[in-house]
Amino acid sequence: MKRITIVVAALVLAAAAFAAWGTAAPGGKVAALAGPTAAPKKPAKPKLPALPSDVKKRKKWLIGVKCDFAPFGFIDVRGNNDGYDVQVARRFATLAFGSKKKVDFTCVTTPSRIPTLMSRRVDIIVSTLTWTQARSEQIDFSIPYYSATGRLLVPNSSAVRIGSLGGKTIVTTRGAIYATWTSNCFKNSTLLQVDSPALAVAAVKDGRADTFMFDDAFLLGVATQDRDLRLTGDKFLNVPWGIGIRKGDTATARWVNAALRYMKKKDEFVKILKANAPARLVGDFLDNVPRPKNNFAYPVGKDVASICP
């Protein structure tokens, strides 16, 4: 009996120690550690509207970002968040609090990002969020901060094109605009939905799907990297991305939009793009970022996901 008591005590102690260690461990929260920053330090602070009161009180942003979507939101070799979206979020921390560390990141997936925002776990989501009519009824969008185009990734030997998708299996990420578009417009195709873009690439490589329909920036990176895969010439669903904000959270919307307008005026998005896209691909994407003379608009009133080619 005594020995058993000792075993119990040891187990409880071990559990408690793990719990305490976990809470104290730096790895528990994705800390905003050193990472390449694209945005230069501006000596003069821009005039921005007042921060939302809870963000101001907390003295840092809580932002949902992708962790599986290079080069927008991913985990770098040292285990830190990085990418285009992450650096936009870090720029918000600098603009709000003067330090790029004043932000805690939460990893979100395509299907979990809107629920994560709506349940108040984060202040905003900067997570490759394409504007759609259905989403804009659930949450508010900031002004656009990127514009993506849909492309098809296929094996080199494949003859699949946008016009010949009947009977084929199309893979994309769950909750992506391409999933809705496929179920609306390609009723003769099979739709396979997975939780991360990498799993979708694997599905094409392993023959479980004929093509991966997705954002150009991600696919171009894959196609240049992988000698067995290529992009078809088709381009579709050119719709800008916005930052997701809870419905009616006007204070946050006002601040975020002012910050984005400021970054656009200073042409900061190009610098962030250059810091994240491979040098030889930057040229292809210069038109995808907001610039002083490069404006985007959401297709408000049009349900793009049900307009078929």
Partner 1 sequence: MTLVASFDWNFIWEHIPDFWTGLKATLKVAAIGIGGSLAIGIVLGAARAHRIPVLNWVAAVYVEVIRNTPILVQIFFIAGGLTQIPGHPIRLEPFTIAWLSVMIWGGAYNTENFRAGFEAVPWRYREAGLALGFSRIATFANVTLPIGARIALPSSINTYVSVLKNTSLLTAIGFAELTDTAYSLESQSFKPSEVYLALGATYLLVVWTLSALVRLVERRLAIPEAR
Partner 2 sequence: MPDWADPVAHYMLHQGLSATLRIAAYAVVGSTVIGVLLGTLLTIRFRPLQALIRLYVEVWRGLPILVTIFLVYFALPTAPVIHHRFGAIAGAAIGLILWGSAQVAEATRGAVQSIPTEQHEAAAALGFGWIGRHKSVILPQALRRLLPPLVSLLANIIQNTTIASLIGVTELLATGQRSIERLQLTPPGDSHAFAIYAALLAAFFCISFPLTRLAIYLERRLVSL
Residues of span 186-245 touching partner 2 by CB under 8 A: 195-198, 201-202, 221-222, 225-226
Q: Is 134 in the site for partner 1 (CB under 8 A)?
A: yes
C-alpha–C-alpha distance, residues 168 and 176, integer Å: 19
Q: Is 267 in the site for partner 2 (CB under 8 A)?
A: no
Shortest spacing between CB 203 and partner 2, in angstroms: 13
In the block, residue with structure tokens 């002012």: 258
Q: Is 203 in the site for partner 1 (CB under 8 A)?
A: yes
C-alpha–C-alpha distance, residues 60 and 215, integer Å: 31
Between 99 and 225, CB nearer to partner 2: 225
Between 9 and 307, CB nearer to partner 2: 9
Give the CA angle between residues 6, 12, 17 to the nearest 5°: 120
Contact pattern from residue 40 through residue 79 relative to partner 2, giving x for each residue in contact according to CB under 8 A and a dash for the rest: ---------------------------xx-x---xxxxxx
Task: List the one residue from 67, 153, 170, 194 that touches partner 1 (CB under 8 A).
Answer: 194
Stretch that binds partner 2, among 4-12, 92-100, 281-289, 301-309 (CB under 8 A): 4-12
Q: Is 75 in the site for partner 1 (CB under 8 A)?
A: no
Tokens (6 digits) for 193: 């939905």
The entry of partner 2, partner 1, none that residue 87 binds, CB within 5 to 8 Å by partner kind: none
Between 88 and 305, CB nearer to partner 1: 305
- Interface contacts to partner 1, rule CB under 8 A: 110-111, 114-115, 118, 134, 138, 171, 174-175, 179-180, 192-195, 199, 202-203, 205-208
- Interface contacts to partner 2, rule CB under 8 A: 1, 4, 7-8, 11-12, 15-16, 18-19, 21-23, 25, 27-28, 30, 67-68, 70, 74-79, 106-109, 112, 115-116, 118-121, 195-198, 201-202, 221-222, 225-226
